[in-house]
Structure 1
């Protein structure tokens, strides 16, 4: 299942990177449901962590793709309908992941950069074991436990209050607590208790649990609280949601307060004053992992000062002030039987290693990414040696690792076991799917097929992207159906989807005679297609599959141009790198020349433009809604220039957008306000020439009511 995601992050172009994020969504949805709802995961923790790792790596390579993942797929699964629903007043977000010392150093540096802290300024962080259990939120009012809820999808959880009351580690009443206190933590099961539970299961002839986490989750989410009461569940408190008053001024102080109130907190939680101290505590916890008596899969770091946590805030799915440092995965040696080339939606040729199956970290691995032709040859993107310059050949014995990535990677080659007759691998210069020339542009890490729409691999991948969850999300029309319909000649481009029923008359007879289809399922598909004829502008722009345009950049374009007609006219009018419409496009904060050229090119290229317009003829495109706010800057376009002294540029941008303003990267006639700090240069001059209002940082803060 996971083998399909074989394109390496290091070799991804931006468009391919965006595509890969969304291709993962289907598996993520199933994995979340299986893990959080059914308590029967089909992916290991390492595989699920890989999704976050891949997102982390892509964000690092392409910062403009940050927050592309939908929170629905990062936070959990929709609540089970068997339980009463609970709306979380404060969302229960997941954590970003780090897998190396460098990742943790980057995490600390990002916080410093966002806050504008000097390198020598203190930034203490707490470090605590990451418990492998089930997240639970406990609400106390006037010291009495009134509600317990699972995380669910982060916004809505399941009411498990009666079950939670049976857990000895959860106090029923508190003394000296705030009037409203929402305590969050992890329900888990010790190794000893898990073994005893499974022994009882076997004695009764019942199915044993796969691991302590599954046992804990299944026990807490019982409809009969008496079953939960008979299970040996435990609870560690480590966070909070709604509070009527602060617990303390710091993370560490708040944890101490929770302990004083009667909650179990992890004794390995430590306040660290520096990055070396954080990493040292990580290694100390890792060394104790096997003897703790309960499962952990890493260490969580959090900025200690709660005022700084508030300033750092959140991305769409994760806090900026916390990170999980995951433990490394296992290594294994196996034989590389063959190198195969896969062709993606943008024509990228990605090499995949077909391996003799081997178990790595409890998972049988048969495929691994080989990144690109440089990686196979033993070079990095700068031409420097990797693996000591050892190339990779078919028949080699290779070391495979799964350090959190969805697809395993090849770490090393055993030259002592190489067949003397093994030939160096020659990377193809022709597309294996259509035979078109595959070229590698200067500065690009990958070779791409030039076949475009005549390449069946690209056409099918574009169609898969079009119907993906973040795009049109047509019920009953997924990747498998797209492949079959394309093979039969039913659907060659997106517009064909919306003429499918019309071309077949009722369409029912031909479709219902196919394997897996019946009259009802066929009619359901046609109804689902009809339902998607009305589509929001941002979703349509994303669904077009234009290179470099992902979900976040599609939203930027939609918010700026507001309507489909305005967007099409602007892209058609914009000349390549010139003209007023081109300047306006580049003025959108987050839109650079590479993305701009790609979008404009799509509307100037004959076949691609024609296909887009054929599609649009079947749709009703819903205009984007400008950000609404009662703030004095709502709807205004703001540009920041010079040095900001009271907040960082990132913080200023985030605050302005939260108030409904548009933040642009350059000054134009449509700019309403230029906030100029010391060192303002050409932007201030251009604003003066255009008559744009120029204010300083203090005036800006006063305008938005900030202190």
Structure 2
């Protein structure tokens, strides 16, 4: 047989790829195969052989790339172009109606409809396509930064590696493992004397985070798309339009149903509560969203969740077990939290042996005693909690629980501030508080100091090498190398990681301080409204409350933090160490855009979308995704799409990339 030349091979490869993509779509997206598995395998083997003969013709979007490639050393970090917020939860009809009342109030009588979707119990992921090819896949991570799992996501057969539309787009979806595949996988693991996975979600998460993508390829993961975040060429008016478009492009979209009002939503929720077991994948509820995209933008978001969507959680699975003991744990703010130690019980797909009891009042209200038989559930299918005591099972051997009068770690007095439900250790130098405070400071969402974990922190505290997180910056390698599991190389790595953390942005430093009630969302709001720690320190509670989404509790907590002498000393030492306690650019002339809105369309030559967003926001402007009468500038790159026509119709000022570059860099 005559050997193919490169030109003929290229044509054959192209034809085979198109056929394979077509059959993958029919099998994995439509669930309607038109050829046998054997025929499909034959086509794939032909393509693999041709690509082996002509390796220069292999492309990243070829179907052969789904089988997995080289083993990674680690996952790279990926910054999300838009924050992945969490959803507020609704647990009953009243919660859903309350959500609807808030929507009505905020929309001032405008008409709106809902879209209801399955809330898949899987792993959220982000996908980016460039010029029609799948370019990047990432985990949710902390909502701001995820991990690059592109190679593993390429193994998901229901995810197209190439689509017809040659555009830049970003989507979100849920990776999951079908129940049938989960069962097959566990049977296989048991045959190989391996521990079975606890539930499909854990199996999916473990598969996605394999450094060897060949392992992920063997797990038969699936994905359902639930949102389109950005598109360089198209505008959409409704969520249903988006789903229709994504289907046309070959994506498998999440099940969805429109609902005219909240009562129709409630009917859909009740229906699926009964029918969820008939699905071949786990759902733990439904997601309710406003259909109109312009109304979503009008409703906006809080620091942690959108105001235009809510998750309805199905009633939790419940089981009975016994409380063997009640332990006290200490948090970084000194809060004493009672935890029930349970006889292990299988609950919602995992083994539960501990459950939070929240606080002393909750224990008294439910009359919980050590030795009680109790009903437990996972709140929202996540956090185990005690629902009630089965009092008829008591035999008199049960013991009442009392909160300790002294801290179980340092022995200091425990107080319960007036008006609060939580008891606290009064010693700010309590080892448990210090350890938790430092753990928070070094955590990934905060200063992200690799290598500084619970074991090392405990050694540092026990050896009096540090007293608080500021002391980390004054450690030397000689302090570390004689500690347990701390040789020359590892101690050097820790010192380098601590040094590198000095470059963390102002927002991360704010969060890392551990101010009570100031999570990452509140820290982001503070970073937008203040240029330095000094400015926040000087702000009154009233001034803080004037900021949208900063309420009286957060405001008082911030003021109280800066009034504490120990905290002021901490900040002084962080400043001495060179930590960034102010924004990089705080001069007034660097805020010259003064809230102006920018939209970008087409392919930019000098910037990525993330870079232009950062440039605009640092200059005091806003980068938004859609053109409206309130848009100040449309910046166009090569091959601008429909946004260009809409901007001309609305009279929006249009800038070339060069004009934008001159504007943004002139200061």
TM-score bracket relative to the smaller structure? 0.5 to 0.7
CA distance in 1, matches of 2:158, 2:502: 54
Q: Which segment drifts farther, 352-361 or 183-192?
A: 183-192
Distance of aligned partners of 1:431 and 1:132 in 2 relative to their CA distance in 1, 3 Å threshold: closer
Q: Residue in 2 aligned with 1:342?
A: 329
CA distance in 1, matches of 2:570, 2:195: 54
Tell me by how many angstroms 1:401 deviates: 0.8
CA contact (8 A) 2:373 2:393 kept: yes
Q: Residue in 2 aligned with 1:240?
A: 228
CA distance in 1, matches of 2:74, 2:449: 28
CA contact (8 A) 1:238 1:265 kept: yes
CA distance in 2, matches of 1:559, 1:171: 38
CA distance in 2, matches of 1:233, 1:601: 49
Q: Residue in 2 aligned with 1:111?
A: 103
Question: Within 5 A, what are the aligned runs for 1:507-526?
Answer: 507=478, 511-526=480-495
Tell me by how many angstroms 1:472 deviates: 3.4
Tell me by how many angstroms 1:485 deviates: 1.5
Match 2:259 to one of 253, 257, 272: 272
1:528 matched to 2:497? The reply is: yes
Tell me by how many angstroms 1:402 deviates: 0.8
CA distance in 2, matches of 1:619, 1:262: 51
Question: Within 5 A, what are the aligned runs for 1:47-66?
Answer: none
Considering only aligned residues, what root-mean-square deviation do their CA atoms show, in Å? 4.9
> SS at the partner of 1:476?
coil
Q: Which segment drifts farther, 82-91 or 432-441?
A: 82-91
CA distance in 2, matches of 1:364, 1:162: 29
Tell me by how many angstroms 1:284 deviates: 1.6
> SS at the partner of 2:327?
strand
Consecutive unaligned residues of structure 2, counting only runs of 5 or more, are: 1-69, 598-615, 623-649, 654-667
Question: Within 5 A, what are the aligned runs for 1:657-676?
Answer: 660=620
CA distance in 1, matches of 2:221, 2:299: 34
Q: Give the TM-score taking structure 2 as reference length.
A: 0.64
Match 1:415 to one of 354, 373, 391: 391
Q: Residue in 1 aligned with 2:437?
A: 462
CA distance in 2, matches of 1:207, 1:552: 38
Tell me by how many angstroms 1:522 deviates: 1.5
> SS at the partner of 2:450?
coil
Q: Residue in 1 aligned with 2:459?
A: 484
1:125 matched to 2:100? The reply is: no
CA contact (8 A) 2:152 2:216 kept: no
Q: Give the TM-score taking structure 1 as reference length.
A: 0.61
Q: Residue in 1 aligned with 2:286?
A: 299
CA contact (8 A) 2:158 2:252 kept: no
1:9-49 CA-to-partner distances (Å, cap 9, x unmatched) read: xxxxxxxxxxxxxxxxxxxxxxxxxxxxxxxxxxxxxxxxx
Question: Within 5 A, what are the aligned runs for 1:16-35?
Answer: none
CA contact (8 A) 1:345 1:460 kept: yes
Q: Residue in 1 aligned with 2:16?
A: none
Tell me by how many angstroms 1:400 deviates: 1.1
> SS at the partner of 1:498?
helix
Distance of aligned partners of 1:537 and 1:163 in 2 relative to their CA distance in 1, 3 Å threshold: closer
Consecutive unaligned residues of structure 1, counting only runs of 5 or more, are: 1-78, 379-389, 572-580, 636-655, 663-701
Distance of aligned partners of 1:441 and 1:222 in 2 relative to their CA distance in 1, 3 Å threshold: closer
> SS at the partner of 2:288?
strand
> SS at the partner of 1:485?
helix
Question: Within 5 A, what are the aligned runs for 1:387-402?
Answer: 390-402=366-378
Q: Residue in 2 aligned with 1:364?
A: 351
Match 2:471 to one of 496, 507, 532: 496
Distance of aligned partners of 1:517 and 1:137 in 2 relative to their CA distance in 1, 3 Å threshold: closer
1:327 matched to 2:314? The reply is: yes
> SS at the partner of 2:285?
strand
1:287-326 CA-to-partner distances (Å, cap 9, x unmatched) read: 2222233443332222122322333345677544333334
1:613 matched to 2:583? The reply is: no
1:250 matched to 2:225? The reply is: no
CA contact (8 A) 2:452 2:494 kept: yes
Q: Which segment drifts farther, 392-401 or 527-536?
A: 527-536
CA distance in 2, matches of 1:202, 1:424: 43
Distance of aligned partners of 1:83 and 1:321 in 2 relative to their CA distance in 1, 3 Å threshold: farther
Distance of aligned partners of 1:92 and 1:409 in 2 relative to their CA distance in 1, 3 Å threshold: same
Distance of aligned partners of 1:170 and 1:545 in 2 relative to their CA distance in 1, 3 Å threshold: closer
Tell me by how many angstroms 1:392 deviates: 1.0
Distance of aligned partners of 1:562 and 1:427 in 2 relative to their CA distance in 1, 3 Å threshold: same
Residue-pair matches, total: 528
Distance of aligned partners of 1:296 and 1:82 in 2 relative to their CA distance in 1, 3 Å threshold: farther
CA distance in 2, matches of 1:263, 1:472: 38
